[in-house]
Chain A
Amino acid sequence: MLAATAAPRLDPKRRNVVDSRKRQFAKAQWQELSYTHRLNFYTIPPTGDVSLEEFEQWGIARLKVLAELEACHFRNRTPAETEEYMKPVLDAHLRLSSNMSRSGERERERKRDHYSHWTLRLAFSGTKDLRERFARLETQLFKLRMQQDDARERKEFVDSLPMSWEMVGDEEKRMYLDELKAATRCGRDDEEAWFKVDWEKVPELVERRQVLLKRGTAYVHVREQLSLLTNEFANNLSTGLDLAARFLPRMDEDNRLAPILHHLSQSFVAPDTGYSEASSIGDLTTPTAGSIDALAQHFPLCMANLHKTLRATHHLKHYGRLQYTLFLKGLGLSLQECITFWRGAFELIPDDKFKSEYLYNIRHAYGDVGGDANRRGRGYTPYSCQKLLTEALPSGGQQHGCPYRTYAPDNLTTLLQNVGVTDRQVLSGVKEDVGRQRYHIACNRVFEHAHKAQLRKVKDEGLWSAAELDLVTHPNTYFKRSFLLKNLGKVKSGDLGVEGAGS
């Protein structure tokens, strides 16, 4: 699309000191950018000084904004809701005043915005997943800001971009008015505007016959401008990120930036995926090795799948065992019960083999053995959705991970049908979510479908707070919520016996 044709790289950040021997003593000359527009296309990297603290703080602030933006997306908020929700967040962390404001902070805000963008660019250029996610979120942010921008300032900003579009003059407009309106499908209002670009810049519009073509020039309606710009922004950014990824290993760095960047990219993994002790059902009932089969109906697909495989083959591979053991630990199964459970499940394995090869791992996961740190931390925390979604894909015979991600769409549908999800609308919704890589949305869709009636009741009666109805991002949360919903009446009346769990 509208390629910013070779945006001129303004000044090199450090002018060449003629005498190379004097170079190290020469005072570096930095090019401080001035920000005339509120928006920024981020074509030029920052070239001024920045302290390490600022470098990190600004990055974290931007990260918060992006994380909230992503959360809006996960919660399926409409654009209007997102804008509403994001306004205070943006004001708090990444304020950008318009040219109208008299705030003395204006330049500093813009510098902050500019620097933090490039900081995160560095931090998230490491893997393809991160790059895509970052580019997507930044593009959303850009679009959001662009829509908030004052019309006049937006125009000034657009004009400042190195793009070859030219507004259609009045005379030309009058000459082609009928054709312009017929081609771009707009109403009778006179207050219309068009701009001209080479048709090659807008092939999609040409393909749909939504522009007027005159000798290779496309007359595009201004309403397309926003999407053209955002497309262009996204394209620029993803090429920029690819470039950064290639140069990252060669970064001239003295171990001050790398930890910060690493830390930033680590904290981008998910908005909130913490495991809390509260997702155990230990305070309601005491799960035992024998009650797992009954409880399995509340398991999310990832765990239900492991359970099913375990029962069918009497075995699970290492990562599957680990994932499942931690989940069982999370739901409140004690170590002794857990060992009993695994011993029973691996019925084809002789006792001494079980003891020598499997027992230790279970105890290790519970923090019963192992190093000091492991024991003090009471073993590993149960895996979150984020963890399951980012670890390596299972290979032959392995079953761990998130099935929404690891299964082919058709197999996933079969799997879902096997666990009792047959509603066609839900299945097609899941397929769509999975196609857009929104795996945990798919999982939540299934959850909401399976607990439709109870959820409605809870909502109607106002039994649960909003936080308890929020999106599920942890398998143990899924389980706990499902368990509570299915036992609504009993939990309230405290009528939940040991054996009653799940019956």
Chain B
Amino acid sequence: MPHALSPSPERTAASTSASGADDTMMTDVPGVPLQHDQDAERGESPSSATSHDGQAALPASSQSNGNGNSVSVEDMFDDDDDDDEFSSSAPTRPDDASSQPEPGSNPSPAAKPRYAEPDTLRQFYQRLFPFRQLFQWLNHAATPQADFQQREFAFVLPGGAYIRYQSFASSDLFRKQCVQMTPERFEIGPQYNVNPRDRKTLRSAGMMRPVMKELVFDIDMTDYDPIRTCCTGAAICRKCWTFITMAIRVVDAALREDFGFQHIMWVYSGRRGAHAWVSDKRAREMDDAKRRAVANYLVLITGSEQGKRAGIRRPLHPHVDRSLRLLNPYFQDAVLSDQDPWASSERAEKLLQTLPDKGLRDALQKKWDSTPNRSSFQKWSDIDTAAEAGSLSEISTKQLVDAKQDIRLEYTYPRLDAEVSKKLNHLLKSPFVVHPGTGRVCVPIDTRNLEAFDPFAVPTVTQLLQEIDQWDEKNSALTEEDRGKVLDWQKTGLKPYVEFFRGYVAGLLKSELAAGKRGRGDADGEAESMDF
């Protein structure tokens, strides 16, 4: 099956026509790429009349390809949290698979984990994925409009092919293609001024411009590696998840209070990070310069690895000041006691280097050398004790307060992957898709109850499918009709997440509608005044 690995739909199209595909198949499925037709065609061919339209050939082929091949394919998709525009998953981490306790994964390294099998994915897209809500969320209206129809989707197929510039006329056609192609994940791009599928018909490539996309943010645990002690790389635990919680708090507050955005959705990225999608009209229509402005407004360059510190200006900007106030409680618990970042003497050395006073450094060094087992908590208070004891030789108490603030910020302030936010045409993994490395669904995070969110409690796709079966078993007494009233996702642990999403989208649509009624001009002003 060479076409399954083809990098673009164009090549697929070529191979389709070469193999003499029946063109009449295409007429009743407008707007769906050729690949789909081919799959559909294969599904109806008598030779592969298996349970699920023809795709049964896929897993078989990946197994028959031998160990070497399937391992490399798996590696490619193990660390996909980078969400690069072109899915450059080049820096693969071979330890990923082993370091992760992957629920429901097959112990044999050669085989694909169950959640990544096309069969599982097809069921997921067919029965669980909230296409309708996703459509409304991206479309900002009930009937399909350009917001959705000219929006780019990019598919990552099980074979590793990355297909860009997909777009769909309606939510149903979108669903249909997902079911047929069973992408491991798909990413959402901007709305273009023309339909991205028609880009080849344009006179020049420059004529296709992105016009609108949600403002997005990406926080990734790997950026925290210099300051976390519990895990590294792709691995996370509950302790270091707190960093993400802290980051969400700070960024969310800034977006709401400073920029006045209201429709912000946070999404668990499936493994070790979180994404934010800001859907306010004002945010969607921002150009690159404005996106860059917001991103840089939020990024604070705190202490760097080389020991040279980028100074944070005093007086603190109100945003930094507020962030510090939000983060202070976390510093005690999540950083000092949980992470214990300066426990070892090498790490304590790092803390000393960041202190600007030689007398103080010497005093502390002496103290910690004599009592090596002091915790970070104690070491942190040692600074003040030493300062009070008169060890300050070069700086004033005020400067020490500033220096301590800098350290607190370094250990708590959000570390954004700012490049993701700066470009209008950057693609980001969609909510509710399955993370190919963990099998977990990328569910939205309810910020009203942020502390309660547990990344390890997020359901995996295999669990969800089991839950459907269990529910059906338990409720076998019900009539066929009654059972039909309950949708599949309602039978599972996905229910609260989908309902949350539905509520969120309803709120978005409502304000979109209100803005539309009032007319474009004063929409923003009204939304603002309502808030004061």
* Real binding pair: yes
Given contacts A207-B296, A207-B297, whether A212 and B290 have CB atoms under 8 Å apart is no
Q: Determine whether B419 belongs to the interface, using a CB cutoff of 8 Å to chain A.
A: no
Q: Could you tell me if A213 and B258 are in contact, using CB atoms closer than 8 angstroms? A: yes
A209 x B319 contact (CB < 8 A): yes
A200 touches B315 (CB 8 A): no
Label chain B's interface by main secondary structure: helix
State how many angstroms separate the Cβ of B257 from the closest Cβ of chain A.
7
Contacts of A335 in B (CB 8 A): none
Comparing A60-68, A214-222, A469-477, the segment that makes contact with chain B is A214-222
Interface residues of A in 182-228 (CB under 8 A from B): 182-183, 185, 198-200, 203-204, 206-209, 212-217
Report the Cα distance A111→B258, complex, angstroms.
45
* B142 adjacent to chain A (CB < 8 Å): no
Partner of B297, one of A179, A185, A209, A215: A209
B282 contacts the other chain (CB 8 A): yes
Whether a CB of chain B sits under 8 angstroms from the CB of A181 is yes
> In the complex, which residues of chain A have a beta carbon less than 8 angstroms from the beta carbon of B259?
199, 213, 215-216
Contact with A along B285-322 (1 / 0, CB 8 A): 01001101110110000000000000001011111110
Q: B528 contacts A179, CB within 8 Å?
A: no
Inter-chain contacts of B388 with A (CB < 8 A):
none
Whether the Cβ atoms of A216 and B528 lie closer than 8 Å is yes
For A216, what are the chain B residues with a Cβ–Cβ distance below 8 Å? 258-261, 282, 524, 528
Q: How far is the CB of A423 from chain B (nearest CB, A)?
A: 30
Q: How far is the CA of A198 from the CA of B289 in the complex (A)?
A: 15
Specify the chain A residue showing the minimal Cβ separation from B298. A209
Contact A214 B258 (CB under 8 A): yes
Does chain A have a CB within 8 A of B531? yes
Given A213-B258, A214-B257: A207 and B293 interface contact (C-beta under 8 Å): yes
The one of A182, A213, A215 that contacts B315, using a Cβ cutoff of 8 Å: A182
Judging by beta carbons under 8 Å apart, are A217 and B318 in contact?
no
A206 with B294, Cβ < 8 A, contacts A181-B315, A183-B317, A200-B286 known: yes
- Of chain B, the residue at the smallest CB distance from A205 is B293
| Known interface pairs A200-B286, A203-B290, A206-B293; A182-B258 also in contact (CB < 8 Å) | no
The reply to whether B528 and A215 form a contact with Cβ atoms under 8 Å apart is: yes
Residue among A199, A204, A213, A215 making CB contact with B319, cutoff 8 Å: A213
Q: Which residue of A lies closest to B257 (CB)?
A: A215
The reply to whether B317 and A203 form a contact with Cβ atoms under 8 Å apart is no
Closest to A200 in B: B290
Contacts of A217 in B (CB 8 A): 260, 528
Interchain CA distance A183-B532 in the complex, whole Å: 21
CB distance from A175 to the nearest CB of B (A): 12
A274 to B323, CA, bound (A): 64
Known contacts: A179-B318, A182-B317, A183-B317. The answer to whether A215 contacts B260 by CB under 8 A is: yes
Residue of A nearest to B322 (CB): A179
Contacts of B286 in A (CB 8 A): 200
Smallest distance from the beta carbon of A313 to chain B beta carbons, Å? Answer: 40
Measured in the bound complex, the distance between the Cα atoms of B294 and A217 in whole Å is: 13
B319 and A185 form a contact (CB under 8 A): no
Encode B98-118 as 1/0 by CB contact (under 8 A) with A.
Answer: 000000000000000000000
Contact between B318 and A207 (Cβ–Cβ < 8 Å)?
A: no
Of chain A, the residue at the smallest CB distance from B300 is A209
User: Cα distance A203–B259 when bound, in Å?
Assistant: 12
Q: Give the number of A-B contacts (CB < 8 Å).
A: 57
Are B294's CB and A182's CB within 8 A? no
Residue of B nearest to A182 (CB): B315
Known: A200-B286, A216-B528. A207 touches B260 (CB 8 A): no
**Chain A neighbourhood of B313, CB < 8 A:** 185
- Closest Cβ–Cβ distance, residue A415 to chain B (whole Å): 35
- Residues of chain B with a CB closer than 8 A to A203's CB: 289-290, 292-293
Q: A200-B286, A203-B289, A207-B297 are in contact. Are A215 and B258 (CB under 8 A)?
A: yes
Which residues in A have their C-beta under 8 angstroms from that of B319?
209, 213
Shortest CB-to-CB span from B299 to chain A, Å, is 10
Which chain B positions have C-beta within 8 A of A207?
292-293, 296-297
What is the minimal beta-carbon distance from A68 to any residue of chain B, in angstroms? Answer: 35
CB-based nearest A residue for B261: A216
B528–A209 touching, CB < 8 Å: no
CB-nearest residue of chain B to A208: B296
How far is the CB of A148 from the nearest CB of chain B, in Å?
A: 32
Q: Mark B316-333, 1 if CB is under 8 A from A, else 0.
A: 111111000000000000
How far apart sit A237 and B477, CA to CA, in the bound complex (Å)?
77
Task: Give the shortest distance, in Å, between A49 (CB) and chain B (any CB).
Answer: 38
CA distance A191 to B318 in the complex (A): 21
Rounded to whole Å, the gap between the CB of A116 and the closest CB of chain B is 34
| Residues from chain B with Cβ under 8 Å of A179 in the complex | 318
> How far does the alpha carbon of A199 sit from the alpha carbon of B257 in the complex, in Å?
13
Within 8 A of B (CB), among A241-300: none
Give the residues in chain B near A200, CB-CB below 8 Å. 282, 286, 290
User: Which of chain A's residues have a CB closer than 8 A to the CB of B531?
Assistant: 215
Complex Cα spacing A216 to B292, Å:
16
Please, which residues of chain B bring their CB within 8 A of the CB of A206? Answer: 293-294, 297
| Residues of A contacting B294 in the complex (Cβ-Cβ under 8 angstroms) | 206
Please give the distance in Å from A113's CB to the nearest CB on chain B.
Answer: 33
Q: Tell me if B316 and A182 are in contact (CB < 8 A).
A: yes
- The A355-403 residues at the B interface (CB cut-off 8 A) are none
**A199 CA to B289 CA in the complex, in Å?**
12
Closest to B283 in A: A216
> Which residue from A181, A185, A204, A215 sits with its C-beta under 8 Å from B293?
A204
Distance A216 CA – B286 CA, assembled complex (angstroms): 13
Q: A20–B296 Cα gap in the complex (Å)?
A: 59
Contacts of A204 in B (CB 8 A): 293
Among residues of A, the one whose C-beta sits closest to the C-beta of B292 is: A207
A215 to B532, CA, bound (A): 9
Smallest distance from the beta carbon of A181 to chain B beta carbons, Å? 7
Q: Is the CB of A209 within 8 A of B260?
A: no
B317's closest neighbor in chain A, by CB? A209
CA distance A212 to B528 in the complex (A): 16
Which of A179, A207, A214, A215 has the most CB atoms of chain B within a 10 A radius of its CB?
A215
For B297, the chain A residues whose CB sits under 8 A away are 206-207, 209, 213
Residue of B315, B316, B531 with most partner-chain A CB within 10 A: B315
Distance between Cα atoms of A183 and B314 in the complex (Å): 10
Residues of A within 8 A of B258 (CB): 213-216
Interface residues of B in 172-227 (CB under 8 A from A): none
Instruction: Report B235 CB to chain A, min CB distance, Å.
Output: 34
Residues of the A chain whose Cβ atoms lie less than 8 Å from the Cβ of B292: 203, 207
In the complex, the answer to whether A212 meets B318 with C-beta atoms within 8 Å is yes
Residue of A nearest to B321 (CB): A182
- Distance to closest chain B CB from A214 (angstroms): 7
B122 to chain A, nearest CB (A): 43
A213 contacts across to B, CB distance below 8 A: 257-259, 297, 319
The digit string for B512-528, where 1 denotes a CB below 8 A from any CB of A, is 00000000000010001
Write the nearest CB–CB distance from B521 to chain A, whole angstroms: 10
Q: Which residues of A contact B317 (CB under 8 A)?
A: 182-183, 209
Chain A hits for B293, CB < 8 A: 203-204, 206-207
Scan residues 53-69 of chain B and give those whose CB is less than 8 A from a CB of chain A.
none
Instruction: Tell me the minimal C-beta distance from A311 to chain B in angstroms.
Output: 45
Give the nearest-CB partner of A213 in chain B: B258
Q: Which residues of B contact A208 (CB under 8 A)?
A: 296
Could you list some 30 contacts between A and B, CB below 8 A? A179-B318, A181-B315, A182-B321, A183-B317, A183-B318, A185-B313, A198-B524, A199-B259, A203-B292, A203-B293, A204-B293, A206-B293, A206-B294, A207-B292, A207-B296, A209-B317, A212-B318, A213-B257, A213-B258, A213-B259, A213-B319, A215-B259, A215-B260, A216-B259, A216-B260, A216-B261, A216-B282, A216-B528, A217-B260, A217-B528
A-B pairs, top 10 by smallest CB distance, nearest first, are: A216-B260, A215-B260, A213-B258, A203-B293, A182-B315, A207-B293, A179-B318, A207-B296, A206-B293, A209-B317
6 new A-B contacts, CB < 8 A, other than A200-B282, A203-B290, are: A185-B313, A203-B289, A206-B293, A209-B317, A213-B259, A213-B297
Report which A residues bind B (CB closer than 8 A).
179, 181-183, 185, 198-200, 203-204, 206-209, 212-217
